[in-house]
Chain A
Amino acid sequence: MSLIQETDYGTPASRAEKQVTLTVDGKAVTVPEGTSIMRASMQAGIEIPKLCATDMLDSFGSCRVCLVEIEGRNGTPASCTTPVGEGMVVKTKSDRLDAIRKGVMELYVSDHPRGFGEKAGTGASEFDHVISLVGLAENRYGVEGRNHVEAHGGIDGVAPGHGSLTIDYMVKDESNPYFTYDPSQCIVCSRCVRACAEVQGTFALTVEGRGFESRIVASMDENFIDSECVSCGACVQACPTDALREKAILEKGMPDRSVVTTCAYCGVGCNFKAEMKGDEVVRMMPYKAGKANHGHSCVKGRFAYGYASHPDRVLTPMVREKITDPWREATWEEALARAASEFKRIQAKYGRGSIGGITSSRCTDEETYLVQKLVRQGFGNNNVDTCARVCHSPTGYGLNTTLGTSAGTQDFDSVEAADVMLLVGANPTDAHPVFASRMKKRLREGAKIIVIDPRRIDLVRTPHVEAAYHLPIKPGTNVAILTGLAHVVVTEKLYDEAYIRAYCDWDAFEDWAAFVSEPRYSPEETARVCGLDDPELIRKAARLYATGGNGAIYYGLGVTEHSQGSTAVMGLANLAMATGNLGRNGVGVNPLRGQNNVQGSCDMGSFPHEFPGYRHIAIDPVRKIYEDLWGVKLDKEPGLRIPNMLDAAVDGTFKGIYIQGEDILQSDPDTKHVAAGLAAMECVVVHDLFLNETARYAHVFLPGSTFLEKDGTFINAERRINLVRKAIEPRARYADWEATQELARALGLDWNYTHPSEVMDEIAATTPTFAGVSFDLLDREGSVQWPCNEKAPLGTPVMHINGIVRGKGNFVRTEYIATDEKVGLRFPLLLTTGRILSQYNVGAQTRRTGNSAWHEEDRLEIHPHDAEDRGIRDGDWVRLSSRSGETTLRALVSERMAVGVVYTTFHHPSTQANVVTTEFSDWATSCPEYKVTAVQVSPSNGPSEWQLEYEDLSRRTRRMANVEAAE
């Protein structure tokens, strides 16, 4: 395995259709019109030296190193900013060019510490490469630059004041946990500034000063950590010197090998090169050929991989009789045998349905497939569920009902053709940051955005982005606002009749149109229900979405995690169908899925009522496929959902569970009920990286493997099947799929997979939408989007082209029913929950990385008015209580909140935000109503009783029999 080097073509690809042929150094090359000479040359294999150019950024033309000669033209134009022309004859080498380039580089070198040839940098520096490329052999100006201190007598860079003429010297900024900024190494090419603006869209960096004084600064000349910088890493990636460099590289040196893999954080599914030195991952570099991220990244995927080597990782299986016993280390064989014999004992005593499993949306497709197979084939029931239960299960139900498939309709690239984005209940800049950057880029190009969200999220107003309309609705009124928007679309006749007649059920449309036209869904009534001041906003927003060109809906858990989550998803699909915004580039209904593989875990049959590919278990021919293959009779009754499992456990009919990679105690609602359910079970097997919260109630602990330690696939929010490639060996002996296989064998099943590709082959052979998928195909194509079969051998970027999957699109009445979770005298505020950029979900991973520098605790965001009413100041400890329970955390007084609404994240276990959330859930899918809880907030002195009890329990249930042997 070697280090993968991606070619840098210097400027972005042109998308023009027309081709142009030119000659570079005697070689003919044909490229699309609008391509730069620099890029065309590189395509011909001729590298032109460059410093300020890189193909992630638009050309800039400042470094003057990439000059070329063009026959018939005067001077030496910059090849990065000069487009190709038909018949052009370009020379990239001549004595004149050599002399100019050397002259320029000599000047650069004179103001660059560690002058060339003395002490090589990290080797990551393109600057060093360009020096050798232009053949610079002398430096007549000395190396005593004004902005740095040259090494003297072995002292490497001395602070100012020691007597040297270093009037512009600035000390290194090491405030960011992951990278350093050394101003003295900076050549002011501004690649970082442009990366921050063009790629990331944060605009945190700028060039300050002129001439020798010019320097890159973050925000208002602040430390990176205190600035607006979101630590996405784009600037570090863009920097051609060591001015911005990963600390890991500075400390450990350059990697020597790499593999392309897929990030295991959010549903964007970015491809990275995992770069290793020896057995250690030293850097994650965004992969430019990655079709979801195109070379961009966020702070989590790029930097927060340290959890994989964190000392908290449990690497040895553990067992105990009772949860009050201390843990005892065991061999894999012993732990697996214990789990298997307990499961068998429980089934013999309490019945076949008394055990079940939970697949992980964090694990690979192959791993989730095997867990559901274990349950169906081995346990003989359908008691399998996954964490999608608590996030996007309503998406599946809602989209399937209206469009005939639960699939999100577009690829991410589609946003480039969107004219109007309707963003509902999602906060992409925090939760899907890499895609948010794409959205922002499109918005800067002139697209419009409508934001429906109780909070004033970043996309409402952020540098160079301002929402056309922000509808700060009261939490829990999504269905009302969506039906209200539909009212305007129908009554003002903004719908696309031709589209509806061609592709939808016209009778259903007429029925729906009559329903939404009722006066109770008028903007005035809707505004009243949703708590909006101005009904005109609803009219304007509806008109813009319906008539503003390509309308693309993006939504998140703010839509699904409600009593009417499924209904709201149908409301979105209704709007898209009515306005003809389906079946082409730039439109669609796009769920922004949370987990790296929540799409895949759903696709792989993780739900208790369906097999892989969303086929109900009661369908005989489908069941027969698996019965024939697996050689067992399969249960045709739906199994238990996670909340049902817990209910059944409390009732005494559900006694054992195998949980792979999910922390239900922290992530599921109504913590006390979850705890009671777990406590009532006789065998809880937790298979995880860490001794997570759920493991307090576990009897067997199986060590998990990180995504770096295994092969497999993840499927992102755009249905893209991405390869996960093993970078290092499993630290605890088994990759997760192997551990599941060993458990199956211990239960007596004859499983003999030798590689995850064989599991994918089984999936392809049994699932029509995956029929064409194989590891070979994925290796060849990079990735494909399902459906991938005979009809679409390379996958399906956009669904519903020339017809909706269902046959005819189904308009569904979306009656608004207020949630029963209502504010009153005791609980007068509404709590809604969400995420923050630097942390991920329950935080099991990100809390164990440097990311905690940005978010070391969960805070309760509260509007100044509500805070003042209660005598709460910013930073005060407050008690947050609901009818379910109470917890304490510190307040963050913020005008992003509407009056009457408070907000918190749930990244830290000590916060116990889910002690407060209630048992209310989506009517169709039991997806919990995380986004609406009636609460009271009051000043507090410290942790709640539950938190103290929990801490105590935590201590008691995490004891080890032999403390020394913990690792």
Chain B
Amino acid sequence: MSPEKLVYQANQIARFFRSKPHAEGVAGVADHINKFWEPRIRRQFFELIDAGGKGFDELVLEAAPSIHRPAEEVA
């Protein structure tokens, strides 16, 4: 998907979890993305994060270390 859309969707998740206590919010974002984002999307997510994470909500950036990096794709 387009990088803008991915950033937007991650930030949308962060906006919900922002109303929670901070630590819970960070864990919530990570847990949500781990549970529902297919490896391809997480791979693209990490490409954007690794490139500086421009545009991501602070909460998403904080959650990133707890998000599972997908294994290399197997054919």
Do the beta carbons of B19 and A515 come within 8 Å of each other? yes
SS class, residues of chain A in contact with chain B: loop
A-B contacts, 6 of them at CB < 8 A, read A352-B74, A515-B19, A640-B38, A641-B36, A648-B1, A919-B5
Counting CB contacts under 8 A, is A653 at the interface? Answer: yes
Min CB–CB distance B20 → chain A (angstroms): 7
Residue of B nearest to A567 (CB): B16
Q: Pick the contact of B16: A648, A653, A815 (CB < 8 A).
A: A815
Interface residue? B35 (CB, 8 A): yes
Q: Do residues B15 and A923 form an inter-chain contact, with CB atoms below 8 A?
A: yes
Whether the Cβ atoms of A609 and B36 lie closer than 8 Å is yes
Q: Would you list which residues of chain A between 627 and 682 have a CB under 8 Å from chain B?
A: 637-641, 644, 647-648, 650-651, 653
Chain A residues, CB < 8 A from B41: 644
Q: How far is the CA of A813 from the CA of B19 in the complex (A)?
A: 7
* B16 CB contacts on chain A under 8 angstroms: 564, 566-567, 815, 817, 923-924
Answer whether residue B73 sits at the interface, using C-beta atoms and an 8 A cutoff.
yes
A320-364 vs B: 1/0 string, CB under 8 Å? 000000000000000000000000000110011100000000000
CA A813 to CA B35, docked complex, whole Å:
21
B40 touches A353 (CB 8 A): yes
Q: Between A and B, how many residue pairs show CB distances below 8 Å? A: 68
Q: Residues of B contacting A923 with CB < 8 Å?
A: 9, 12-13, 15-16
Within 8 Å CB of B53, what residues of A?
A: none
Q: Is A838 an interface residue (CB 8 A)?
A: no
Shortest beta-carbon distance from B42 to chain A in Å: 9
Q: Output the least CB separation between B25 and chain A (Å).
A: 10
A637 touching B1 by the CB < 8 A rule?
no
Residues of B within 8 A of A382 (CB): 38
B41 (CB) vs chain A CBs: closest residue: A644
Is the Cβ of A924 less than 8 Å from the Cβ of B19? Answer: no
Q: Contacts A640-B38, A651-B1, A817-B15 known; A924 to B75 CB distance under 8 Å?
A: no
**Which residue in chain B gives the minimum CB-CB distance to A923?**
B12
Task: List residues of chain A with CB within 8 A of the CB of B9.
Answer: 921, 923, 926
B35: A residues at CB distance < 8 A: 609, 616, 618, 638
Q: Cα distance A616–B36 when bound, in Å?
A: 10
Number of interface residues of A (CB under 8 A): 36
Q: How large is the interface on B (under 10, 10 to 19, 20 to 34, 35 or more residues)?
A: 20 to 34
Residues on the B chain within 8 Å of A425, using CB: none
Residues in A with CB closer than 8 Å to B22 are none
B38 — which chain A residues lie within 8 A by C-beta? Answer: 353, 382-383, 608, 637-641, 644
- Assuming the contacts A638-B37, A923-B16, asked whether A351 and B75 have C-beta atoms less than 8 A apart, the reply is yes
A563 at interface, CB cutoff 8 A: yes
Bound form: Cα–Cα A653–B1 in Å: 11
Task: Flag if A637 contacts B75 (CB, 8 Å).
Answer: no
Return chain B residues, CB-CB under 8 Å to A926.
9
B70 within 8 A of A: yes
Q: Are A348 and B75 in contact (CB under 8 A)?
A: yes
Report how far A347 CA is from B18 CA in the complex, Å: 40
Chain B, residue nearest A347 (CB)? B75
Residues of A within 8 A of B12 (CB): 563, 923
Instruction: Tell me the bound Cα distance from A351 to B18 in angstroms.
Output: 37
Task: Tell me the complex Cα distance, A497–B11, Å.
Answer: 36
- Nearest residue (CB) in A for B71 is A637
A351, closest chain B residue (CB): B75
Complex interface bits, B24-59 against A, C-beta within 8 A gives 1, otherwise 0: 000000001011111111000000000000000000
Q: Are A638 and B36 within 8 A (Cβ)? A: yes
Give Cα A926 to B33, complex, Å: 12
- Return chain A residues, CB-CB under 8 Å to B34: 618
Minimum CB distance partner of A382 in chain B: B38
Which residue of B20, B32, B39 is within 8 Å of A813 (Cβ)? Answer: B20
Q: Chain A residues with Cβ under 8 A from B74's Cβ?
A: 351-352
- The contact string, 1 if C-beta is below 8 Å from chain B, for chain A 367-393, is 000000000000000110000000000
Chain A residues near B32 (CB, 8 Å)?
A: 924
Query: How far does the alpha carbon of A563 sit from the alpha carbon of B35 in the complex, in Å?
Result: 19
Contact A648-B18, Cβ < 8 Å, known A638-B35, A923-B13: no
Which residues of the other chain, B, contact A608 by a CB distance below 8 angstroms?
A: 38
Chain A residue with Cβ nearest B18: A815
Could you tell me the distance in whole angstroms from the C-beta of B19 to the nearest C-beta in chain A?
A: 4
Q: Output the residue of A351, A637, A641, A815 with the most chain B CB within 10 A.
A: A637
B19 contacts A353, C-beta separation under 8 Å:
no
**Residue on A nearest B6 in the bound complex, by CB:** A647
Please report the C-alpha to C-alpha distance between residue A924 and residue B39 in the assembled complex, in whole angstroms. 17
Q: How far is the CA of A648 from the CA of B12 in the complex (A)?
A: 20
Bound-complex Cα distance A638 to B75 (A): 17
The 6 closest A-B pairs by CB, nearest first: A647-B1, A923-B12, A815-B19, A813-B19, A640-B38, A351-B75
Whole-angstrom CA separation of A352 from B38 in the bound complex: 13
Known: A351-B75, A637-B70, A815-B16. A647 touches B5 (CB 8 A): yes
Contacts of A563 in B (CB 8 A): 12
Q: Per-residue 0/1 for A911-925: is the Cβ within 8 Å of any B Cβ (1 yes, 0 no)? A: 000000001010110
Q: Mark A563-582, 1 if CB is under 8 A from B, else 0.
A: 11011000000000000000
Residues of B within 8 A of A815 (CB): 15-16, 18-19
13 more CB-based (< 8 A) A-B contacts, given A566-B16, A815-B19, A817-B16: A353-B39, A382-B38, A515-B19, A608-B38, A609-B36, A616-B35, A641-B36, A641-B38, A647-B5, A653-B40, A815-B15, A815-B16, A926-B9
